[in-house]
Structure 1
Amino acid sequence: MVSNRRKPGKIKQWFNQWLNSRLPAATKVTLAHRSVFILPSGFGLLWLTLVLLLFLFGTNYQNNLVIGLSLLLLSVFNTCIIYSYRNLAGMTISSTLSPQAYAGDTLVFPVRLYANQTQYEVLLNYPNNQIKVIKKVTNEASTSLIPFINERRGRVSPGRLKIESRYPLGLCKAWSHVDLDNEHIVYATPLEANEQLSHIDSEQDYVADNQGGHIPGVDEFKGLRQHIPGESLKQVAWKQLAQGRGMLTKEFQQPQGEPQWLSLTDFSPASLENRLSQLTHSVDRLSEKGQIFGLQLGERTIQPADGEAHRISCLQALALVPAQPETPT
């Protein structure tokens, strides 16, 4: 279900526009001076305060040892600025295909990381989500799964990925916000129907639950299986045998009756989300049984088929049905 989100303030809108111009969306990003930002951390501000107090104390009492100590601490802080930047600069981040997910699940966005030089203690997270700690990033690419809590269906963009490091002493915080352009289609939450859904064909109102399945036959090629001694040699896959793959038998199947149809005609806000969830469950159930079915969504029709590609096509079509605004009372 599409949720109402509070519009960002003017300052946040300006900052987002500035980020979009400075760091445009891309599936692969290499961090450099233009994309890495550095500021003192809370501990770093206390460190600078201590440096200032020591310097004032040393100059007031003309104590060269205290003045030297303050300058030493300041040089340590300056060194941390350089190392904090180097701990992110040169890192390459890229997005990969996300696994299928339903509304209400915690999404997982795989992110590949590698760097020319070893980098330590890198923190990754999407806004208002759990932080993923990467102990070490090397020149060998590794994949990290970044969680993202989501409650709605449809196209979901996790936003900008925050990459942060406080290495080596925590005095400075280096970070970046990258948009990996990894929008994902989230399916509606499956909901089992209490009554039979509309499996409609052209001649009758309801069809049998097993209609549209497959039975052994000779119409369609199903696949290959291990040959059983004593079976007819007519179905032996001689080509595969010549390739050294062993004795295999060809299997064929044929549809059982007319295909089933799942339909959605009522797009009223009161029942739309519940109906989409029921149809999502039906698509998964029919696909698991290997049955042939079609989907009608108003004027859009997905022709009957089976298989994983057909299942994904139907689930995406259900997920992308526009949400209807509630009618004010």
Structure 2
Amino acid sequence: MASLISPRRSPLLQRAHARFDAWARRRTPAALPVRFDRHRIYILPTRFGAFFTVLLLVMGVGALNYNNNPALLLCLLLAGAGIASLLQAQLQLGGLEIHAIGAEPVPAGTALLMRVHARAPVGRARRGLRVECGGQAAVLSLDDGAGEAVLSLPTATRGWLDPGRLRISTTRPLGLARAWAYAWSDAPLLVYPAPEAGGPPLPSGAGDSLHSRLQPAGDDVHHLRDWRRGDSRRAVAWKASARRDALLVREFEQPLGADIVLDWRALAALRHEDRIRRLARWVDEAERESRRYRLLLPGQPPLGPGSGAAHRHACLRALALLPKDIADGAPR
């Protein structure tokens, strides 16, 4: 889905579009899905459409003045084609349904890829629809009744991100008029806190819950498994492989120590946002090292101990939504 550059418009058309934006029926977010009917679709002439209208008026006046029937017939045919294009532009949006808007959370400062899922009754292909939001644009095409557009939205701060109102528009088939409609989801998108660029390593583990990680090299052999592409030759158990007539690889068990405790109160020397960034970095580092960890935040129950994508999301979500004026209380 490639980004588009907004077409140039005359100041008069810009003011007209801005006024229609202010008069749009849906002024507050709404629950999805949103279906476009004739009450939600707006149409205004494009710059080329305004020129085409003036040209037809001049042709019509000239044909009537000189009583030129062929020129008058041509003028009427072109006018009919223009009116038909208005109807076709509205039909491009009629029945279209925006049924889902979502994005995977990203750290603040990273572009958020917002996906807009749309569907429409099967039977008529809808191509070249333009989706705009937050100053970004993408193309949406529906060939089999469903399609997706991806917009890259900039992020600056952690927490909930309201992308604002979506505008879906088209100038097809002749570019004489622009038809558009709005969709505004009531579900905000999540932005994780930006992790600290550098700092101290992970704190040492605490508690009695020692655990280990399987890896190609370690201290104790855990089990034998089938050979996979990329395995080292040193890890191959040749005697066992000869008995089984298949390549087997030794997998070792490497002790990793106890669970890591990421405590908000232990970073009292740092400022509020610096604490959040450091904890976010430690969460990512613990995941990369496959360590179990527990996050302790003031005013919230402890998260964990655990590991994995779901636990990481829960921890980063709690950090992203942490109030800016929270006190350093003990976790409940």
Task: Please say whether Structure 1 and Structure 2 have the same fold, judged by a TM-score greater than 0.5.
Answer: yes
Shift of 1:225: 8.0
Aligned to 2:273: 273
Structure 1 residue aligned with 2:135: 128
Distance 1:292 1:137 in 2: 45
8 Å Cα contact 2:283/2:315 also seen in 1: yes
Matched, 1:45 2:46: no
Q: Pick from 72, 75, 98 the counterpart of residue 103 of structure 2.
A: 98
How far did residue 46 of structure 1 move? 0.9
CA distance in 2, matches of 1:66, 1:94: 48
- The answer to which of 272-281 and 57-66 deviates more is 57-66
My pick for the range that moved more, 59-68 or 148-157, is 59-68
Alpha-carbon displacement from aligned partner over 1:89-131 (angstroms, at most 9, x marks no partner):
12232225422311111111222233322112111121311x2
Q: CA–CA distance in 1 between the matches of 2:210 and 2:26?
A: 53
Q: How many residues align?
A: 278
Q: Secondary structure at the match of 2:180?
A: strand
Task: Say yes or no: does 1:173 pair with 2:178.
Answer: yes
Q: Is the 8 A contact 1:95 1:182 kept in 2?
A: no
> Deviations along 1:70-101, whole A, 9 cap, x unmatched?
32222121111111011111223222542231
1:15 is displaced (CA, Å) by: 3.2
Q: Aligned runs of 1:141-152 on 2, under 5 Å?
A: 141-152=146-157
Change (3 A) 1:252 1:34: farther
Cα distance, 1:182 vs structure 2 = 4.3
Structure 2: state its 5+ residue gaps.
1-17, 215-222, 227-236, 241-251, 327-332
Q: Does the 8 A contact of 1:114 with 1:138 survive in 2?
A: no
Instruction: Indicate which of 194, 200, 203 corresponds to 2:199.
Output: 194
Q: Assess if the C-alpha contact under 8 Å between 1:124 and 1:164 holds in 2.
A: yes
Query: What amino acid is the match of 2:212?
Result: I
- Structure 1's unaligned 5+ residue stretches are 1-10, 200-206, 218-223, 231-250
Report Cα offsets for 1:180-226 as digits up to 9, x if no partner.
344221101111442357x4xxxxxxx36999762279xxxxxx984
1:220 alignment counterpart? none
Q: Is the 8 A contact 2:205 2:261 kept in 1?
A: no
Return the letter of the residue paired with 1:280. A
- In structure 1, the partner of 2:320 is 319
Give 1:237's aligned residue: none
Cα RMSD between the aligned structures? 3.7
- The separation in 2 between residues aligned to 1:17 and 1:68, in whole angstroms, is 38
Q: Which residue of 2 aligns with 1:248?
A: none
Between stretches 273-282 and 41-50, larger displacement belongs to 273-282
Contact 1:106 1:148 (8 Å CA) reproduced = yes
* Alignment-derived partner of residue 296 in structure 1: 296
Q: Are 2:260 and 1:260 aligned?
A: yes
Where does residue 214 of structure 1 map in the other structure? 211
Equivalent residue letter for 1:272: H
CA distance in 2, matches of 1:212, 1:314: 20
TM-score (norm 1): 0.71
Q: CA deviation at 1:38?
A: 1.1
Give distance in 1, aligned partners of 2:266 and 2:65.
Answer: 82
Query: Secondary structure of the residue that 2:194 maps to in structure 1?
Result: coil
Separation in 1 of the partners of 2:71 and 2:155? 55
In the other structure, the counterpart of 1:243 is none
Judging changes above 3 Å, is the alpha-carbon distance between structure 1 residues 15 and 216 closer, same or farther for their aligned structure 2 residues? Answer: closer
Counterpart residue identity of residue 191, structure 2: V
Q: TM-score, normalised by structure 2?
A: 0.71
The letter of the residue matching 1:264 is W
1:30-41 paired onto structure 2 within 5 Å: 30-41=35-46
Q: Structure 1's 42 and 81: CA in aligned 2 closer, same or farther, altered over 3 A?
A: same
The 3-state SS of whatever aligns with 2:185 is coil
Counterpart residue number, 2:26: 19
Query: Structure 2 vs 1, CA of residues 256 and 68 (structure 1 numbering), >3 Å: closer, same or farther?
Result: same
Separation in 2, partners of 1:252, 1:32: 62
**1:189–1:296 Cα change, 3 Å:** same
